[in-house]
A and B are shown apart, each in its own frame.
Chain A
Amino acid sequence: MSAPHTPPSAPPTHPDASAPPGPAAIAVRDLVKRYGPVTAVDGVSFTVPRGAVVGLLGGNGAGKTTTISLILGLLLPTSGGIEVLGHDMLSDRFAALPRMNFSSPYVDLPHRLTVRENLTVYAHLYGLRDIPGRIARLAEDLDFAHLLKRPTGRLSAGQKTRVALAKALINDPEVLMLDEPTASLDPDTGDRIRGHLEAYRARTGAAIFLASHNMAEVERLCDDVLIMRRGRVHDRGSPAELKTRYRRPDLEQVFLDIARATGGAIDESSADQEDAHPHPPARPEDAR
């Protein structure tokens, strides 16, 4: 099934009304990342307004984590431009970094340190004040006060996800980047985290950019959704617009429609197109 596409350069249209004025939270222009012959991100352009929650959907290897890593500055692009809060991330990233944060299941916190110690170290790195009070509030909000004295390496996967989210929120970021924010969480805790993110956005006007495989989560949280395939933005729109466009009751069906209409997979795993366009890696190491 084919469907008309919103032009990839069109901006998202649903920023939060309470969003602070100023330059866009994230502005990505013609972003390309190649590893030798492999193109992981292929000419991606989009804008995330302040106060908006924008989701990044795509199969494994579609380029989601690479895109987030490029925005964060963990990766250098082959070409293209990235601005966060008006700062060029290639030449002026340290002006933006104190105002943003991220969590990812691909990056851990030191295992031997307790949860409180880890959060204390990061609070100092961000130059915060009233660190004990801030940690106590986050621990209460994210329900891990009883874990503060436990070594981070002894937490369950779900507990680690909550602590990583606390680290991502420690500096009240204006731009929050989340890669699979509710991975490994039980439905109840996942629901609580999603509620917390909604409240955080409403309270602070922060922009949230999240990559997820959880369609219900994306549908609930996101004003706008970018669907990536083979390193490109394949389609975009609000969850409602996408459902209307594809005439489907939920985003999961939309995702599957796109996957089936494009050769059975929305990610890079379709072998018949391998020669025409090398697979973008799920993570950078896949490309080496």
Chain B
Amino acid sequence: MNERFPLPVRRVLAIVLRHIYVLRGSPPRILEMAYWPTVQMILWGFISKFFVGHSEWVAQAAGVLIAGVLLWDVLFRANIGQAVGFMEEMWSRNLGHLFVSPLRPYEFLVGTMTMSLVRTTVGVLPAALLAIPFYDFNVFGLGWPLATFFASLMMFGWAIGVFISGILLRFGLGAESLAWAFVFAFGPISGIYYPISVLPEWLQAIALAAPPAHVFEGMRAVLFEGRVDTHHMAAAFGLNLLYLGAAAAFFLAMVTSARRRGQLLDLGE
């Protein structure tokens, strides 16, 4: 790491380095990151092939299910990557050292978010590339909107991960399973594999209050109509800023609460 970087950047990169060291020392973890997205892609690839011949809707855009599963994995991996970054410090009982170092809480969050971006890219990219020879579907054919879908889902994944990190600070590792489970609450209302219009009207309003529904609607607009829906894109980004800000504020409040209750020395396995 370059010693001439500004100190806040060095501290953020120190957190990234800490997790790179963990990954470097554990090849199975790197394999595991790519394993699930690839298995999912293969499974949904075959389902897509089947539906192309049996469903008029899927036949109109053969890659709609594969694109859905790949983008959903971006959200899932972003959330897991961020939350695991925090849990690693809890598992190793390292929070006490970190919080008496010059590392600011926001720098810690930026470090774990950066690492989450690395983990997500390492996990999803191989699956996206394999879909090209396996199913003749190139998700990169979505063009520049793909970058906005990716960014939007990363941001919402971070927001959930930061929120879960705050919950973990408050309730300890007993709440660990939330890191994996909570994001699935958004599955039914995100419209990953079906349009939001399928949902009851009252549920559509709830669905559209979360960014993923806008992303997947936007994805279908590109795939089915060849149209970029800027309204959904803008809504997703606006909501993401709101949720990310709220999650960060919640996390910082939980740090203060943990300092008041003496949990920073206590949290761990």
A interface residues with partner B (beta carbon < 8 Å)? 35, 65-66, 69, 72-76, 94, 97-98, 100-102, 104, 106-114, 117, 120-122, 124-127, 129, 131, 151, 167, 283-285, 287-288
Contact = CB atoms under 8 A, between A and B. Distances in A.
A91 to B, nearest CB: 13
Contact of B14 (A106, A108, A121, A167): A121
Contact of B93 (A107, A283, A288): A107
Contacts of A106: 93, 96, 265
A124 B13 contact: yes
Given A94-B102, A97-B101, A109 B94 contact: yes
B11 A124 contact: yes
B261 interface: yes
22 contacts: A72-B100, A97-B100, A98-B102, A108-B92, A108-B268, A109-B94, A110-B22, A110-B94, A111-B92, A121-B14, A121-B18, A121-B21, A124-B17, A125-B98, A126-B101, A126-B102, A127-B11, A131-B3, A167-B97, A284-B262, A284-B265, A284-B266
A98 B104 CA distance: 11
Q: Which 7 A-B pairs have the closest CB atoms?
A: A284-B262, A107-B96, A124-B14, A110-B92, A108-B93, A117-B21, A285-B266
Scoring B7, B11, B98, B101 by chain A CB atoms within 10 A of each residue's CB, the highest score goes to B101
A106 B94 CA distance: 10
A107 B265 contact: yes
Contacts of B230: none
A110 B18 CA distance: 9
B27 interface: no
Nearest to A75: B262
B96 A74 contact: yes
B185 to A, nearest CB: 30
B104 A124 contact: no
A125 B97 CA distance: 11
Given A124-B11, A124-B14, A129 B3 contact: yes
Interface string B234-264: 0000000000000000000000100111111
Task: Bin chain B's interface residue count.
Answer: 35 or more
Contact of B97 (A109, A111, A113, A124): A109
A74 B261 CA distance: 10
Given A107-B93, A108-B93, A124 B1 contact: yes
Contacts of A124: 1, 10-11, 13-14, 17
B141 interface: no
Nearest to A131: B3
Interface string B73-95: 00000000000000011001111
Nearest to A120: B17
B102 A73 contact: no
Contacts of B3: 129, 131
Nearest to A110: B92
B17 A104 contact: no
B99 interface: yes
Given A151-B25, A167-B97, A125 B266 contact: no
Nearest to B267: A285
Interface string B94-114: 111111111110000000000
A76 B262 CA distance: 8
Contact of A284 (B11, B13, B97, B263): B263
B94 to A, nearest CB: 5
Nearest to A97: B102
B26 interface: yes
A75 B256 CA distance: 9
Nearest to A152: B92
Contact of A74 (B94, B99, B102): B99
Scoring A97, A108, A287 by chain B CB atoms within 10 A of each residue's CB, the highest score goes to A108
B102 A285 contact: no
A59 B268 CA distance: 25
A32 to B, nearest CB: 13
B104 A94 contact: yes
A98 B10 CA distance: 14
Scoring A106, A113, A285 by chain B CB atoms within 10 A of each residue's CB, the highest score goes to A113
A125 B14 CA distance: 6
A127 B18 contact: no
A125 B92 contact: no
Contact of A125 (B21, B102, B259): B102
B262 A122 contact: no
Nearest to B97: A107
Contacts of B260: 75-76
A96 B3 CA distance: 21
Contacts of A120: 17
Given A69-B265, A107-B97, A127 B102 contact: yes
